[in-house]
Amino acid sequence: MAEAHPVGFQWVVEAKKRGAEIIHVDPRFTRTSALAHTYVPVRAGADIVFLGGVINYILSNELDFREYVLAYTNASMLVSEDFQDTEDLDGLFSGYDPEKNVYDQTTWQYQGQQHTAQDAGDAAEDRETASGLEQESHGPPIPADVPRDPTLRDPRCVYQVLKRHYARYTPEVVEQVCGVPPEKFLKVCEAWTRNSGRERTTALVYSVGWTQHSVGVQYIRTGAIIQLLLGNMGRPGGGVMALRGHASIQGSTDIPTLFNLLPGYLPMPVAGTHDSFRQWVDSIRHPDQKGFWANAESYAVSLLKAYFGDAATAENDWGFDWLPKLTGDHGTYQQVLDMIDGKIKGYFLLGQNPAVGSAHGKAQRLGMANLDWLVVRDLFMIESAEFWKNGPEVATGELVPEECRTEVFVVPAASHVEKEGTFTQTQRMLQWREKAVEPPGDCRSELWFFYHLGRMVKERLASSQDPRDRGLQALTWDYPLYGERHDEPSGEDVLKEINGYDVATGAPVPGFTALKADGSTACGCWIYAGVYKDGVNQAARRKPGAEQDWVAREWGWVWPADRRTLYNRASADPDGRPWSERKKYVWWDPDAGEAGEWTGYDVPDFEKTKPPSYRPPEGATGVAAISGDDAFIMQGDGKGWLYAPSGLIDGPLPTHYESVESPVRNPLYRQQANPTRKLYDRTDNLVNPSPPEEHAEVFPFIFSTSRLTEHHTAGGMSRQLAYLSELQPAMFVEVSPELAALRGLDHLGWATIVTARSAIEARVLVTDRLTPLRIDGRTVHQVWLPYHFGFSGLVTGDAANDLIGITLDPNVLIQESKVGTCDMRPGRRPEGPELLPFLAGYRRRAGLDPGHHTPMLTPPED
Amino acid sequence: MPSNSLYGPLDPAPDAGYTDAPPRMGFFTDTSVCIGCKACEVACKEWNGVPDDGFNLLGMSYDNTGGLTANSWRHVAFIEQPRASSGAGTDTPGAFAGTPAGPSASAHSAVVAASAGQDTGTDPGVPPAVDALAAAGTVAPPGPQFLGMPGHDLPGRIPDAPRTDFRWLMMSNVCKHCTHAGCLDVCPTGALFRTEFGTVVVQEDICNGCGYCIPACPYGVIDQRQGDGRAWKCTMCYDRIGDGLTPACAKACPTESIQYGELSELRERAATRVAALHEQGVGEARLYGHDENDGVGGDGAFFLLLDEPEVYGLPPDPVVPTKNLPAMWRRAGLAALTMAAAVVVAAAGRRR
Amino acid sequence: MGVRTWIEGWPVYRQLTGTDPLGRGAAAQSPRSKALTARTGTADSVARSVCPYCAVGCGQRVYVSDGQVTQIEGDPDSPISRGRLCPKGSASKSLVTSDRRVTEVLYRRPYGTDWERLDLDTAMDMIADRVLAARDAGWDPRHNRTLGISSLGGATLDNEENYLIKKLFTAMGAIQIENQARI
């Protein structure tokens, strides 16, 4: 956190001064570790064992916050008798389909709910469209009569299932798998549990060190289980905090530039599943479902009204048929492989530098070299614009400029001070930026670029009779223009459309509860409804923090409905009283309003006048079905899920799988790696062998990559600036003194790092901050690389992402780039064409011949 | 003019002729909360338009600035130590306990780093890898012994034992704005002057690049910029503080490691912080440069350190070189008089 | 400037007649030093902004004089950042004022070996033509979509920009729209 989010870290430092205990778990000692009370070195890729060990500690010692767990989680619900655990099936849950490599989830359901489950075909489609997680919030309805055991003693209740599942995750196993000594591990367990409960809360902070794994979603779920067991969710000082890495990466998920989503987490329609408007909407809202997704039809209709205006009518299903339909995986990595295969003609890069910043740099560059055209929108000349000129493949001869047909347009972009608009930061807060100056020369905002591109495309198709152009023709695009050149749309006008408005009067809607399914409202992103409440740009609110209380509600605007902490109903007990005076946040005031109201420091994440005692009548659905103590109002059953009966491709409970490339045999199960991971089994995307496969010893070391404080992602905004470049001027690799001795690496000398994909060179930093670990009885070495460097800029170096292959988490299609295996050699890598035979030699020794396939399912060992 | 104007406790602004001087302003840098982000270095350069220092990988942990130069007025030192303090408040005891870690490499790395040359575009630039040598001084090297390094076996540091404890010290260094500033005292042109805030500033419109100030600084801070010739260093953002603003480095500092304010108030705050750390068991916490009775009359920019000053590349007992100036002047005057007398005697003798 | 003022402005005169006989303070202060003020105080305008690097969302104040950004520093009013910035945020002025920024359209023709200049209008026309051609080439009538167009980016763009991007591409039938959040 101190490394990549230094200003956010001020709150950790302040908490520390006030007595908070800080623990940092990381494969290497970082600037965050330097200020922690306890630093725990851990093997990259073993987090579920570490966290599972904490769960085991909590459950075996009954240290969970029992009242909270009983009221707000699904601990008491009974799971199907047919469910079998990885502990029973050596690393697989019941329902595994070895053909499709996914699960039929029938047996994972609560008792009596099996009919609602996803079969293996559904699950396979969910994996391809990264929509598994939609099932968690849009998930099947949970009727009031799910069998429960409030004593938590029934062997089929979630609590007991959880307890059995993690029983083997003992301190000794944590030591064996993670390399963490038991005393140290127990110290963490004690601190975590001691600082949780009624009077105290613990915050869990993670970043892409968790997401970029083939089991990444399950890492985060393991953390969430702990936080639910300890009663840390929805409470001040608690939570699971995702530190996101880009100014508006949260916004780009909310208003997605993502293939599988429409604004507000509405799914892109999938052919065969969402062939009609009704099918699409019902799959989101589930007519019998509890919670706020039940109103999904209002959100969906309002979005289509915002897109297509008057042309969207009830008769034409609001223009639903104009939406394109998905058929499978269209994620960024699939796209790159499709580029290599010549299936994609044109590519826009909008402030993104995949030649350096995406996994498998070589695939990225070769993909771009096989396009008709590429448009790069950036502030500086980045590697992704120059791959045809200076890229590593030009040096090896794999790419010859005179033979590369890709037409490249670099259309310079406006900077953040040269345009107005909102960023959504990591805590879902929208903050408005004022425009300070005009952009120089040809630099233009994305608002300008896409407005005019849309205008020109619409003009060219204005008289088309082709039905496929109907949607474009109907698209509302009449944005007023402003500015010195009278050609710039206003960000505020677009924000008003995002907020939503009454179609008849144009008046902004006050919030998403005002949206209608009858076409009388339009709204570009339902979760942002309210950001322009009362005709005021709420994101531009800037009442000084010093003049407000600690929640500072008059600064910016947080979705949904300006709630600063999600699920904050859980900060009060089931009866609506604060769990403790010290930790009071939102509570029920029986004397407020007509018959009591929720009140507190934050906007209550609950219906304002629904009393804690409310119980839904028989047959209630939607919002009315949310009970007065259902704190998790977006969940199909109103509960925090310790066990996920649906929603996850790879299992209802997090289970330790080794990373796709690991020098270690999975000590817990026969199954080595995630059996549902997304694999692209191609000769240009080789995977280093891992046990029990032969030749794993060719790549004996673990490497991980991440950021330095002094640089930003692929370097486009930092390696171009002298004041940042001088602070970290060269690509380097951090190695422990032990590995340096083992491989003859000299401090400040060169090292070559090799994987099946590529070899890169880096200067060596021998540092005590890295340590070998003892894993399963042997010494395992880890090295670390920053991923900021590339071949353009004031300071240059080989790109760490060239080392990484493409294997993805099955739930969200994010690549495993936080852990891989490699070899290390002293000295510089071979240059030019010499690099290719060098790599071929490694592949041969590793057994990665043509015809080699990485096994998905680990075969039984003799 | 007070007799101790060149040594000992003093409020420097009134001494330098400011009749209604505002309170003396200063920096208190609390290294116990420094996260080594280097925001101070960048914020300083952005505000003051200081050139970059060249793109050199120094291998001195995460320090690629090397030291304070004409082109780096803030410098964050990084010291990797295979040790822990007695308390748990500022480091991570047992960081590597239970791992198959061997002895520390930090001393060896530091020696390698020290021999890595660099061109900072300044003169003399970074004193020869002062921080690296300091780091080397904190532990014995694992391999062949290197000679000539001071204090490689400081008490309490065990060479060759597997490392278990570890800490990573970081400190943002800066011009000390001494009460008795050698640079100022030797400046023949009046380019260096004492401001009404008690700070010491080089006036770029006056400096003629004579370089006298450079050996006069007991901390090795002031430095000449190549191709320009003039001396440059921290001004404590004289233009900003005159408008009541906080200097750029302190303004940016994410964790309030760099604090700016009235020196008297900062000294109180620092004393409170040291006491708090001592209470948490961090016995090593100590102040540096706060003492008005030290060799420079106390610093306008002082520090809370977690180890000996040498470890951070700071001189343990800095003394302003002009301390003995009055005595030297007296002796020089006496010598001159003697010479003159001799000449007179000689001349008189010839007449005779 | 009269002779008298000129003489009184002479440091030695000030030194000999003033309160600073050693000439180390008030007497040595140059007219330039005396006149120094913070350039933020004389800015023509100040824009309230947000740092463009990580997702913490630190407040920035952007100071502008004569149409140029002269300083970017932390906004002390922000309850998120309280006026502080990291090294990247502190380098924001360099980011926006750098002379390394690309400020004109550059074009590399197929099989070309170097960049060429292109004016913005021409480039936009060419891009619009190519977008329609790629849409056509990759059209999949069964699913009302095109597989001819890809896009990657958006995590440092404004919500309003992402909104228009997704809206336009979706209406166009382009589905292969992704950003850093997948990475």
A347 vs C150: CB contact, 8 Å cut-off? yes
A734/chain B closest Cα distance in angstroms: 10
Confidence band for A158, pLDDT divided at 50, 70 and 90:
very high
Is residue B170 less than 8 Å (CB to CB) from chain A? yes
CB-based contacts of A48, cutoff 8 Å, min separation 6: A215, A218, A219, A222, A654, A655, A656, A657
Mean pLDDT for the stretch of residues A649-670:
97
| Cβ-defined contacts of A612-615 (< 8 Å, 24+) | A612/A572, A612/A574, A612/A575, A612/A576, A612/A588, A613/A575
Q: Does residue A237 sit in helix, strand or coil?
A: coil
A794 vs B55: CB contact, 8 Å cut-off? yes
B35 vs A9: CB contact, 8 Å cut-off? yes
Whether the pLDDT of residue B130 is over 60: the answer is no
Identify the residue with better confidence: B3 or A582.
A582
Query: Is B127 annotated as a binding-site member?
Result: no
B39 vs A6: CB contact, 8 Å cut-off? yes
Span of A73-77, A470-474, A621-625, C148-152 with lowest mean pLDDT: A621-625
Enter the tokens of residue A219. 């890492």
Whether the pLDDT of residue B136 is over 70: the answer is no
Domain A678-845 -> CATH class: mainly beta
Q: Among A517, A519, A541, which Cα is nearest to A530's?
A: A541
B240/chain A closest Cα distance in angstroms: 21
Give residue-wise pLDDT tens across range A231-268.
999 999 999 999 999 999 999 999 999 999 999 999 99
CA distances from A717 to A364, A550, A685, B106 (A): 20, 33, 29, 32
The pair phi, psi for residue B246, each rounded to 5°, is -85, 140
Q: Do the beta carbons of residue A725 and residue B38 sit within 8 Å?
A: no
At which residue do the structure tokens 């100030």 appear? Answer: B213
C 99-138 residues with CB < 8 A to B: none
Confidence band for B50, pLDDT divided at 50, 70 and 90:
very high
Query: Is B194 annotated as a binding-site member?
Result: no
Q: Could you give the CA distance from residue A556 to residue A430 in angstroms, rounded to a whole number?
A: 6
Average pLDDT, chain A: 96
Enter the tokens of residue B146. 């290197």
Is residue A121 less than 8 Å (CB to CB) from chain C? no
Q: What per-residue confidence (pLDDT) applies to B117?
A: 66
A324 vs C174: CB contact, 8 Å cut-off? yes
Confidence band for A137, pLDDT divided at 50, 70 and 90:
low
Q: Could you give the CA distance from residue B332 to residue A613 in angstroms, rounded to a whole number?
A: 95
Query: Is B253 annotated as a binding-site member?
Result: yes
Reported as type and span, the H/E element at residue A515 is none
Q: What per-residue confidence (pLDDT) applies to C2?
A: 66
Whether the pLDDT of residue C9 is over 70: the answer is no
Q: Among A298, A296, A301, A297, which Cα is nearest to A318's?
A: A301
Mean pLDDT for the stretch of residues B232-256:
98
Q: Do the beta carbons of residue A371 and residue C108 sit within 8 Å?
A: no
Give residue-wise pLDDT tens across range B147-194.
444 444 443 344 578 889 999 999 999 999 999 999 999 999 999 999
Q: Among A720, A703, A727, A842, which Cα is nearest to A783's?
A: A703
Query: Is B352 annotated as a binding-site member?
Result: no
Q: Which of B61, B92, B168 sits opposite A38 (nearest CB)?
A: B92
Confidence band for B112, pLDDT divided at 50, 70 and 90:
confident
A7 vs C179: CB contact, 8 Å cut-off? no
From chain C, pick out residues whose CB is under 8 angstroms from the CB of A424: 159
C169 shares a domain with C110? yes
Is residue C39 less than 8 Å (CB to CB) from chain B? yes
C67 shares a domain with C24? no
What is the secondary structure of A714-729 as a DSSP string? TSTTTTT-HHHHTTS-
> How many Å separate Cα C173 from the centre of its chain?
33
C68 shares a domain with C53? yes
Span of A320-324, B94-98, C159-163 with lowest mean pLDDT: B94-98
Whether the pLDDT of residue A498 is over 90: the answer is yes
Q: What per-residue confidence (pLDDT) applies to A540?
A: 98
Span of A498-507, B322-331, C98-107, C159-168 with lowest mean pLDDT: B322-331
Query: Is B76 annotated as a binding-site member?
Result: no
Whether the pLDDT of residue B139 is over 50: the answer is no
Q: What per-residue confidence (pLDDT) applies to A362?
A: 98
Confidence band for C89, pLDDT divided at 50, 70 and 90:
very high
Mean pLDDT for the stretch of residues A511-540:
98
Q: Which residue of C has its CA nearest to A320?
A: C171
Q: What per-residue confidence (pLDDT) applies to A141?
A: 56
Q: Which domain holds residue C89?
A: 39-97
CB-based contacts of A828, cutoff 8 Å, min separation 6: A750, A752, A761
Average pLDDT, chain C: 94
Query: Is B189 annotated as a binding-site member?
Result: no
Give residue-wise pLDDT tens across range B325-350.
777 777 777 888 888 888 777 777 66
CA end-to-end distance (rounded Å), chain A: 45
* Number of domains composing chain C: 3
> HSE-up of B257 (CA within 13 Å, CB side)?
32
Q: Could you give the CA distance from residue A683 to residue C132 in angstroms, rounded to a whole number?
A: 33
Query: What proportion of chain B, given as a percentage, has pLDDT over 70?
Result: 86
Q: What per-residue confidence (pLDDT) applies to B77?
A: 96
Q: Does residue A816 sit in helix, strand or coil?
A: coil
Q: Do the beta carbons of residue B179 and residue B82 sit within 8 Å?
A: no
Enter the tokens of residue A667. 């000590």
C62 shares a domain with C22? no
From chain B, pick out residues whose CB is under 8 angstroms from the CB of C85: 39, 43, 252, 254
A744/chain C closest Cα distance in angstroms: 34
Enter the tokens of residue B299. 């610093």
A473/chain C closest Cα distance in angstroms: 9
Domain boundaries, chain B: 22-319, 324-352
Give residue-wise pLDDT tens across range A394-442.
999 999 999 999 999 999 999 999 999 999 999 999 999 999 999 999 9
Domain boundaries, chain A: 678-845
Q: What per-residue confidence (pLDDT) applies to A144?
A: 57
Identify the residue with better confidence: A602 or B332.
A602
Cis amide prior to B93 (ω within 30 degrees) = no
Confidence band for A618, pLDDT divided at 50, 70 and 90:
confident
Q: Among A26, A15, A27, which Cα is nearest to A203's?
A: A15
Span of A179-183, A397-401, B97-101 with lowest mean pLDDT: B97-101
Q: Could you give the CA distance from residue A326 to residue A307 in angstroms, rounded to a whole number?
A: 19
Q: Could you give the CA distance from residue A411 to residue A422 in angstroms, rounded to a whole number?
A: 22
| Mutation for C interface: B5, B42, B200, most C CBs within 10 A | B42
Q: Does residue A211 sit in helix, strand or coil?
A: helix
B242 vs C37: CB contact, 8 Å cut-off? yes
Confidence band for B351, pLDDT divided at 50, 70 and 90:
low
Confidence band for B140, pLDDT divided at 50, 70 and 90:
very low
Q: What per-residue confidence (pLDDT) applies to B3?
A: 45
Q: What per-residue confidence (pLDDT) applies to B339?
A: 80
A2 vs B35: CB contact, 8 Å cut-off? yes
Q: Which fold has domain B22-319?
A: Alpha-Beta Plaits (3.30.70)
C111 shares a domain with C177? yes
> How many Å separate Cα A81 from the centre of its chain?
33
Query: What proportion of chain A, given as a percentage, has pLDDT over 70?
Result: 98
Q: Which residue of A has its CA nearest to B119?
A: A726
Report the b/e string of A816-849 with b at 16+ CB within 10 A: bbbbbbbbbbeeebbeeeebeebbeebbeebebe
Q: Which of B57, B80, B100 sits opposite A729 (nearest CB)?
A: B57
Helix axes A47-60, A158-165, angle to 10 degrees: 120
Q: Among A506, A846, A528, which Cα is nearest to A690's?
A: A846
B17 vs C86: CB contact, 8 Å cut-off? no
Q: Could you give the CA distance from residue A118 to residue A857 in angstroms, rounded to a whole number?
A: 21
B303/chain A closest Cα distance in angstroms: 18
Under DSSP, the state recorded for A485 is T
Enter the tokens of residue A239. 């939570």
Whether the pLDDT of residue A546 is over 80: the answer is yes
Mean pLDDT for the stretch of residues A20-43:
96
Whether the pLDDT of residue B88 is over 80: the answer is no
Q: How buried is A462 (Cβ within 10 angstroms: 0-12 exposed, 13-18 middle, 19+ buried)?
A: exposed
CA distances from B111 to A49, A740, B137, B261 (A): 40, 16, 10, 38
Cis amide prior to A692 (ω within 30 degrees) = yes
Is residue C98 less than 8 Å (CB to CB) from chain B? no
> Which residues are paired to A587 by β-bridges?
A599
Query: What proportion of chain A, given as a percentage, has pLDDT over 90?
Result: 92
C95/chain A closest Cα distance in angstroms: 7
